[in-house]
Amino acid sequence: MTSFSMAEPRHPAAGSAPSPCQDHCTARIMALTRGIVRLGASLQPSCGRAAFHPSARAPLLLGHAQVLLGGLRLQHSAPQSNKCQWQLKEDCFELTYGGLVMHFDYVWLRDHCRSASCYNAKTNQRNLDTANVELTIRPAKTRVDDETLFLTWPDGHITRYGLAWLAQNSYEGQKKSAVQPRILWDSDTYTNAKISSISWEKFMSCDDELKNFLRNFLLYGIAFVDGVPATLEDTEILTQRVSLIRETMYGRMWSFTSDFSRGDTAYTKLALDRHTDTSYFQEPCGMQVFHCLRHEGTGGRTLLVDGFHAASKVLEQSPENFELLSRIPIKHEYIENMRDHRNHMIGIGPVLNVYPWNNEVYMIRYNNYDRAVINTVPYNVVQRWYVAHRELTMELRKPQNELWVKLKPGKVLFVDNWRVLHGRESFTGLRQLCGCYLTRDDVLNTARSLGLEV
Ligand SMILES: C[N+](C)(C)CCCC[C@H](N)C(=O)O
Ligand SMILES: O=C(O)CCC(=O)C(=O)O
Ligand SMILES: [Fe+2]
């Protein structure tokens, strides 16, 4: 399944300036239109910007395009060049470019005009009032040159679209690629990947190292920093290099031990089965940071399991169970009576949250402790949901999927709480853990600012 495999990283929008790989791409497109690129032949670009060519990102479309190009019946259209063909269809504008057949709704085209009066390029915001676009609008005139489509609208306004821009922003060009590239893992594959921990000094001082750290964190959903001074303050400084801290009812930075100071099993010495945290938030916390400041005793190892890997197995084995887990809304709840007030949190959403256009899982909400009463579906659906939930649980519990680590003072663990489940072994003795939750948007923002395409 494409959505679960490691997809090509996304590339920045190609500008209109010719890129060094353009000739290379053009040659391939010409080859394609002549039908001499074999199905399955790799279109991997030989230069970094070749993703401007849509089929470089979606080589699977190649064979499809060959067939279609061979049998295209063109109406109201003019072949503009070897690599681009278009036709004004009744309900959409059809564009074939770089081996990709795309369909654009006419209102969409008017709405996405990037002219100075319709779009503010300084703020990257739309100026055009979409509500003023006639819903039956059609272009009065169409022209395509090598790299640009020109549409003249009935009122005379002209929109220019880069063909590469259209390819990149079309449904067809987008649906096969993962929004968030990832490498699914079990214990062996993660261990064999030998992702080295980054040292605290490098993490704090070198942007390239931080970028590398974030790349791995986003690909695997976990990452470690070593040699961090074992204090809450230093842990806080560390995390702020990556993101804003997400404050919750547990505080901003938290530090906890088995004193049952809060009404939750986390604050005991008991084992905790694999789970995601804050499933009882409408938007569960994106990332979690753990730093074990001290442990004098036995046990207490941390368990990590790749939830996306387990979900991909369910999809492979029984799509109907995957579907149930991604459709049925489930409630999670946190009820805590504090001395002077009460916390009551409710989060509702499916166990597997997927993007509908590519079935890519972007968030798993799995916490059997905090799952609330199911009353959102009738009993016969509940039955099927339990079957699906069981299958996912079995996957999550396979010993080969369990990565066990012992957190020690100095070793900080980052967990993508939308993906990787954590748990812990029971323990004896004094054990103190500190950490915080991070705002997912800010982690991704930092990653993008360092040049990562996520
Ligand atoms: C991390 N910290 C100790 C502060 C909170 C633990 C929260 C535990 C809760 N059952 C959940 O899974 O969300
Ligand atoms: O004690 C631990 O290692 C983790 C406990 C836990 O699940 C949590 O704090 O979210
Ligand atoms: Fe937890």
- pLDDT, one tens digit per residue, over 269-295 is 999 999 999 999 999 999 999 999 999
Amino acid at 362: Y
Q: Is the per-residue pLDDT at 100 higher than 50?
A: yes
Which of 8-12, 296-300, 416-420 has the lowest average pLDDT? 8-12
Ligand closest to Cα of 332 equals 1
How would you list the strands of the sheet with 302-306, edge to edge? 272-275, 420-424, 302-306, 403-405
The whole-number pLDDT of residue 177 equals: 83
- Ligand 1 neighbours (beta carbon < 6 A): 250, 254, 256, 264, 266, 275, 277-278, 367, 369-370
The whole-number pLDDT of residue 81 equals: 55
Continuous H helices in 116-186:
163-169, 171-174
**DSSP SS3 for 365:** coil
User: Can you tell me which residue has the tokens 């490498």?
Assistant: 183
- pLDDT, one tens digit per residue, over 372-430 is 999 999 999 999 999 999 999 999 999 999 999 999 999 999 999 999 999 999 999 99
Q: Is the per-residue pLDDT at 53 higher than 50?
A: no
The whole-number pLDDT of residue 174 equals: 85
Q: Using CA atoms, how far apart are residues 102 and 430, in angstroms rounded to an integer?
A: 61
ipTM here: 0.99
Q: How far is the CA of 437 from the centre of ligand 3 (A)?
A: 11
The whole-number pLDDT of residue 9 equals: 33
Q: Using CA atoms, how far apart are residues 334 and 206, in angstroms rounded to an integer?
A: 40
Look up the pTM and report it. 0.83
Mean of the per-residue pLDDT values of the chain: 85
Name the more confident of 23 and 250.
250
- What is the pLDDT confidence band of residue 82, given thresholds at 50, 70 and 90? low
- Whether the CB of 370 sits within 6 Å of ligand 2: no
- What is the pLDDT confidence band of residue 51, given thresholds at 50, 70 and 90? very low
What angle do the packed helices 379-397 and 319-327 form, to 10 degrees?
110
Q: Is the dihedral of CA 228, 231, 233, 236 positive or negative?
A: positive
The whole-number pLDDT of residue 146 equals: 87
What tokens were used for 27? 């040659």
The alpha carbons of the chain give a radius of gyration, in whole angstroms, of: 26
